A and B are shown apart, each in its own frame.
Chain A
Amino acid sequence: MHATACDVKVLEHLALTDTIRLMTTSWPRRDKAPKAGQFFMLRCWPADVAPVLSRPISVHSYDAAMGTIQFLYEVRGKGTEKLAALEPGDTLSLVGPSGNGFDVESALGKRVALVGGGIGTAPLYQLAKELNAGGTKADYFCGFRDEPYGVEKFATLCGKVQLATDSGRYGFHGFVTQLLNPEEYDLVLCCGPEPMMKAVAKLCEEKGVTCIVSLERKMACGIGACLGCTCKTTTGGKCVCKEGPVFDSKEVFGA
């Protein structure tokens, strides 16, 4: 399925922490329903205004009945600062859904761990929803530097929910990798900072457990046209925006 472009309305925009925002927008294109792990290119500034490029943000939640998408994102630079200024009723343009997304079908019925770090937890909520809808309750492991966000809503969708923070202010004082025992799972699905994903992948590899990771890259087109986001894989260069962002860890970290 190819991505499409659509101008949509902001319905709700909440600040969860100093830098984390949760934005709900309309998504009228039910024929282009996003799934867990897919993303959109977001833009709320004119074509001739900097920054030049739109910003790739993953789908935090999609509500097919309501025709709405939620984006959970971190305000990091010029693009996300402009997004953060949006108010309900404002318009922004979306290009997507892009990317392969997680293979939920093949995860159903398995013992699944979702492992998220910081804003990398964003796509795991939609993933937990889809797994739960398919009758699979995954365990959820999440790590944050200090202040966690969005953890509680995993409770009804998941089995075990475990929290770690670098600061020790909340949950376990340390890394999320210290909480995870891959041997308890058939499949580990992971999104977070690359060093964390590499650490999780290494743990899994040692125990012979499949680890699936979702990568982040700078992107220009977001739809597989410019090849600006290529990553090395064991089978050659692949477009993170189109052939990813979800890969088997052995395919991308082993390359």
Chain B
Amino acid sequence: MSEVSLKVNLLGKELAGPVIGASGTFGFGAEYSDIVDLKKLGGVSSKGITLIPKYGNEGERLLETPSGLINSIGLQNPGVQHFIDHELPIMETLGTAILANLGGGCIEDYEKGAELLNDTAVDFVELNISCPNVKQGGIAYGIQAESAKEVVSRVRAVCKKPLIVKLSPQAEDICRMAVACVEAGADALSLVNTFQACAIDLEKRRPVFNNIFAGLSGPAIKPIALRMVYQVCGVVDVPVIGLGGIATGNDALEFIMAGATAVQVGTANFMNPKACETVTDEIAAWMQAHGVKTLDEIRGCARV
């Protein structure tokens, strides 16, 4: 496969491949170091971190659906400073790009978190304005374009790292949201986070999750995520990282042909712990079979 290059240039940084381990499914990367060849990956997006450590949600946190997973983790994390002191040094040894996924309750928390990350080895800040599982997880900023614009511009003003904004499919209008974030200074966008979902426990006659609603991910959401990525790639000029239910090389190629610069793989890691590597290898095999030498040749090619 020597003539195929999987390299991706994301905001001036060369990534080894187009596949990034998605936040919340990949820990801080080290957990997968004896399972996946992390050097083949484009990067690892950290578990969502917040200025103040969070325990996360009480009650049920996971529920399988026929083709997906509903989660209500609630941004459990050790806090930004702990991340910098303890998890980041290990991530630096993994040989892959580091995305720090930053959540927040109020704008000030986002700003302080971003400032703490400024003088660290983090390659990108992925601003999470889309966690559906905590009121203070940022979803409040992920619904209306005006709210997003405010938080993104405030973080942009203090953040020295390349800034990726992760969008929620709950946005009132995904295209307006995307444009607003770019206008506010986002260097790139990643989409989509989980879809708000619900399940009822028949025996208890109550919702399964304490928060009633929780986030649906996995293959079930892929076609809708792809639609949104397709739409957003048509209205912004910044790089778009596509995610939502990607489990195979073909899935990833669909997102790239829709215009995505790179992709993230999340829930599929639970279906196949080597999923990030498998998807990477399958992309390479497809390129090989089709005489495609670089992803630039096919990026956005399906757009009509």
A interface residues, Cβ below 8 angstroms from B: 2-5, 32, 41, 47-48, 50-54, 95, 218-221, 223-230, 232, 236-237, 242
Question: Can you name the residue of chain B whose Cβ is closest to the Cβ of A4?
Answer: B34
Main secondary structure of the interface of A (DSSP, over half): loop
Q: Is B33 an interface residue (CB 8 A)?
A: yes
Assess whether A2 is in contact with B62, with CB atoms less than 8 Å apart: no
Assess whether A52 is in contact with B61, with CB atoms less than 8 Å apart: no
B24 neighbours in A (Cβ, 8 Å): 226-227
Q: Is B229 an interface residue (CB 8 A)?
A: no
Assess whether B76 is in contact with A2, with CB atoms less than 8 Å apart: no
Beyond A48-B219, A52-B267, A221-B25, is A3–B272 a contact (Cβ under 8 Å)? no
Question: Can you name the residue of chain A whose Cβ is closest to the Cβ of B274?
Answer: A5
Assess whether A223 is in contact with B271, with CB atoms less than 8 Å apart: no
A228 neighbours in B (Cβ, 8 Å): 61-62, 71, 73
B interface residues, Cβ below 8 angstroms from A: 24-27, 30-35, 47, 55-56, 60-62, 64-69, 71, 73, 76, 218-219, 247-248, 267-275
B35 neighbours in A (Cβ, 8 Å): 2-5, 95, 223
In whole angstroms, how far apart are the Cα atoms of A253 and B64 in the complex? 27
Assess whether B268 is in contact with A47, with CB atoms less than 8 Å apart: yes
Partner of A47, one of B33, B65, B76, B271: B271
Question: Can you name the residue of chain A whose Cβ is closest to the Cβ of B25?
Answer: A226
Question: Can you name the residue of chain A whose Cβ is closest to the Cβ of B275?
Answer: A47
Partner of A95, one of B26, B27, B248, B273: B273
Beyond A52-B64, A237-B76, is A225–B56 a contact (Cβ under 8 Å)? no
| 18 pairs from A and B in contact (CB 8 Å cutoff) | A2-B35, A4-B35, A32-B34, A48-B247, A48-B248, A48-B271, A50-B66, A52-B67, A53-B62, A53-B64, A220-B62, A221-B31, A223-B273, A225-B31, A227-B73, A228-B62, A230-B76, A236-B55
Assess whether B69 is in contact with A53, with CB atoms less than 8 Å apart: yes
- Nearest-CB distance from B187 to chain A (Å)? 27
Assess whether B31 is in contact with A2, with CB atoms less than 8 Å apart: yes
B26 neighbours in A (Cβ, 8 Å): 225
Assess whether B269 is in contact with A221, with CB atoms less than 8 Å apart: yes
In whole angstroms, how far apart are the Cα atoms of A50 and B63 in the complex? 13
B267 neighbours in A (Cβ, 8 Å): 52
